[in-house]
Amino acid sequence: MRKRNRRLVICMSEAEWTAFEEKVRQSGINRSAFCRQALQGMEVRAASPHLPELVHQLRNIAAGLDALKQEAQTQHLSELVRQLDEALTRNRDAEKQVMRALVPERPTWR
């Protein structure tokens, strides 16, 4: 069963629809996520067009680092494995920071 099984129908003028679609496009998220964030009082920001590519490149770098780490493990190069582990950790941290820029955190309610 779907987690979100309730629907909301909203009527808009053509101008409102066009403005809505433009804001959704700029946010880089789908319509449903955009509406949920707006309804929860979250700031819905325009995503930089470069951030998704940056995430893609960071994941490619992680895949390369992981392949090097596996090869270093087969060669029993423990110091290199440790250094590659550290590099993978820094890469994951960088990816998390980029993702936080793409998807804002939920607000705290009082």
Q: Please say if the pLDDT value at position 49 is more than 80.
A: no
pTM over the 0.75 mark: no
* Placement of tokens 């250094």 in the chain: 83
Phi, psi of 102 (to 5 degrees): -75, -45
Mean pLDDT of 33-51: 75
- Cα(33)–Cα(46) distance, integer angstroms: 13
Mean pLDDT of 66-76: 94
Average pLDDT over the chain, rounded to an integer: 84
What is the tens place of the pLDDT at every residue in 78-105? 999 999 999 999 999 998 887 777 665 5
pLDDT band of residue 110 (cuts 50, 70, 90) is very low
Q: Please say if the pLDDT value at position 51 is more than 80.
A: no
